[in-house]
Structure formats: structure tokens, C-alpha cells
Amino acid sequence: MAQMTMIQAITDAMRTELKNDDNVLVFGEDVGQNGGVFRATEGLQKEFGEDRVFDTPLAESGIGGMSIGLALTGFRPVPEIQFFGFVYETMDAISGQMARYRYRSGGTRPMPITVRSPFGGGVHTPELHADSLEGLMAQQPGLRVVIPSNPYDAKGLLISSIRNNDPVIFLEHMKLYRSFREEVPEEEYTVELDKAAVKREGTDVTLVAYGAMVHSCLKAAEELEKDGVNAEVIDLRTVAPVDYETILESVKKTNRAVVVQEAQKQAGIAANIVSEIQEKAILHLEAPVLRVTAPDTVYAFTQAEEVWLPNHNTIVEKVNDVMNF
């Protein structure tokens, strides 16, 4: 075991899979020599050579399209989009192409591609670096969207994603990259995709979140505990498809739920979850299922970012609304 930050765990996952499978290729802008702008690929080119870990020209649609071509020749590409706000440049390659290839080819052409990308607010980036665009990806049938909240999951989920024979969008919250360390096994292991984790057991209300908001929920749960409210916290880990089974089981126990996402409110992951809860468990509910989200705007410039982002206080407020309904 070693103490690792999330970014170290991510590097370790790629190293593990580069070692395990000669077909794994890691590439993107500044990914080779420089080891990535966040150092996610630190040392990998040196260890595995320029043929396996390399820099690409600066063009995201090209990176996406080339990944597809490499997959067509049997490789298992792990491209990086330097910041996920740049995904618009490669929307067709992702949503119009890799997500559909298996179906389009009558089930004959798998796309074992893992698109890695940093995202998430609170780190004072310029525009279009921090936006939470997972809802856009989740809207696309054929894509799996994975968002880890901690180093242990990050390594296990990334290994599972790379081994998966369908495309995975693997989103890494920048605020979590180096915010804490935890024990991460040096040997290989996997964390199951499409499976949520109960991070804290509770009896009064279910908090559902993913990425950095999992930590805000845990902090909120601690505050709530002081007022005698016992919150259960679920970390989705895979946001598309959602593990509704785990959520419904919890809601049937607590009879109350608040769904939390850093993204704007409209048409997101949280909206999906609220719908599913009322479709499947309405008679178990003691109160409406509420959402904690950012407002329906584009991501705020730095000066307004602090207020724009949901946090443990806004979560506590919403939970109180649900408890006092």
C-alpha cells in the first residue's frame, strides 16, 4: 500500500494497463514529454516509449477521430482532452462516432476507448476549463460516464474503464487531484463500473452525489448529525448509466432524498435521478425529492465562482427543507 493523491492513482492506473496490454496507447496534447499539464501521465513516455505514450497535434476532433481509427485496428486508446470544456471541439467524434460505432457496424466494431479529462470548479481557471458537462455526455446513448471521488476508486475505475470494450468518458475533478491522499494498493485491482458506493450509512435522508460534491455531502452530513439528522451518502461513481438499484434501496429506507450536482440545474444527472425515484418509489416518499445544483447559467468567471458552486451549506439548507416538509 502507498499513500496516493488522486492524480497519482490515475497515473498508476494507466501505468498498470500500459504494462498489462500492449494495445493500450496513451496520448493527447502535452501528454508525452511533458507528462500532461496536470502531470497525469508523468513518466509514462519514459517508461513505455514514444510509440505507446505520445503528444498529438493540437486538435481535439483529430484526437477523437484518430482514437476511433486506432480502435478499428485493435488498439485500446486512452486519449486525454486537456480540459473538458474543450469537448465541444470533438463532440462529433465522441457522440456522433465512437458512441455509435458498435451499433452502426451491426455489433462488429467495438470502441474500447477511454477519454480522460479534467473538469470541475473551484480552481480559478479561465473560461471553458471548469464546466461540468457530464450531462451532455450522459444524454448520449452508447457512452459510459465515470467520475471518481477519491484516489482508491480513481485507480480501480480507470483500470475497469480501459478494459471495457465500449467507450468511457472518464472525468477527473481538478479540485480532487491533489486535495488529499489515501491508501491505494500498488498492485492492480478494479472497481466495478455502473455501481454506486454508499459512503456513509444513515436513516433519515439519502444524499446522492458524485465527484467533488461527494465530499461536500459528507461534510454536510457531519453538520446535520449535530442536529440529529442522520444522512446516508451515495457516491454514484458511474453517472451514466446510474445505479438506480442502490439509490432506490436507500430511499426506501430513508424516505427522503436530496440529489446534488455541481452542474447547472437544467437537464442534468440529478434531474434523471429525481424522475426515476418518483417513478419507482413515490409511495415511500415523505417529502419531494429536491436538488442542489448551480444556477442555469454557464460556469461563472472566477470572481463569482465561490457563490455559483453548491457547497455543504447549500446542501444542509436543502436537507432541512426536506426534513421539515
Partner 1 sequence: MTLKRTLENIENQFETFQILNEEGEIVNEDYMPDLSDEDLKEIMRRMVYTRILDQRSIALNRQGRLGFYAPTAGQEASQLGSQFALEKEDFILPGYRDVPQLIWHGLPLYQAFLFSRGHYKGNQMPEGVNAVSPQIIIGAQITQTAGVGLGYKKRGENAVAITYTGDGGASQGDFYEGINFAGAFGAQAIFVVQNNRFAISVPVEKQSAAQTIAQKAVAAGIEGIQVDGMDVLAVYAATKDARERAVNGEGPTLIETLTYRYGPHTMAGDDPTRYRTEDEDNEWEKKDPIVRFRKFLEAKGLWSEEEENELIEKTKEEIKAAIKEADNTPKQSVTDLIGIMHEELPSNLKEQLEEYKEKESK
Catalytic (active-site) positions: 129
Work out how close the CB of 274 gets to partner 1 at its nearest, in angstroms, rounded to a whole number: 15
Query: Which element (helix H / strand E) includes 215?
Result: helix 213-226
Q: Which stretch binds partner 1 (CB under 8 A): 28-36, 105-113, 149-157, 176-184?
A: 105-113
Query: What count of Cα atoms within 13 Å lies in the side-chain half-sphere of residue 101?
Result: 22
Q: Pattern 30-59, binding to partner 1, x per CB under 8 A?
A: ---------------------x----xx-x
CB atoms < 10 A from the CB of 279, how many? Answer: 10
Q: Sign of dihedral through CA atoms 72, 77, 82, 86?
A: positive
Work out how close the CB of 194 gets to partner 1 at its nearest, in angstroms, rounded to a whole number: 6
Q: Of 280, 268, 266, 274, give the one whose Cα is nearest residue 318.
A: 274
133 lines the binding site for partner 1 (CB under 8 A) = no
Query: Which element (helix H / strand E) includes 184?
Result: strand 182-184
Which residues inside 10-29 make contact with partner 1, applying CB under 8 A? none
Work out how close the CB of 92 gets to partner 1 at its nearest, in angstroms, rounded to a whole number: 6
Grid cell of 299 as nine digits: 460556469
Measured distance CA(132)–CA(125) in Å, rounded: 13
Q: Of 270, 321, 274, give the one whose Cα is nearest residue 293.
A: 270
Measured distance CA(213)–CA(135) in Å, rounded: 15
Which residues inside 69-88 make contact with partner 1, applying CB under 8 A? 69-75
Phi, psi of 219 (to 5 degrees): -65, -40
Q: Pattern 224-263, binding to partner 1, x per CB under 8 A?
A: -----------------xxxxx------------------
Under DSSP, is residue 189 helix (H, G, I), strand (E, B) or coil? coil
Phi, psi of 145 (to 5 degrees): -120, 120
144 lines the binding site for partner 1 (CB under 8 A) = yes
103 lines the binding site for partner 1 (CB under 8 A) = yes
Q: Pattern 178-207, binding to partner 1, x per CB under 8 A?
A: ----------------x-------------
- Total number of residues binding partner 1 (CB under 8 A)? 44
Work out how close the CB of 107 gets to partner 1 at its nearest, in angstroms, rounded to a whole number: 4
CB of 145 or CB of 319, closer to partner 1: 145
142 lines the binding site for partner 1 (CB under 8 A) = yes
Measured distance CA(9)–CA(7) in Å, rounded: 5
Work out how close the CB of 155 gets to partner 1 at its nearest, in angstroms, rounded to a whole number: 22
Which residues inside 108-127 make contact with partner 1, applying CB under 8 A? 108-110
- CB-neighbour burial class of residue 186 (10 A; exposed 0-12, middle 13-18, buried 19+): exposed
Work out how close the CB of 232 gets to partner 1 at its nearest, in angstroms, rounded to a whole number: 20
Under DSSP, is residue 24 helix (H, G, I), strand (E, B) or coil? strand
Residues binding partner 1 (CB under 8 A) = 51, 56-57, 59, 61-62, 64-75, 92-93, 96-97, 101-110, 141-142, 144, 164-166, 194, 241-245
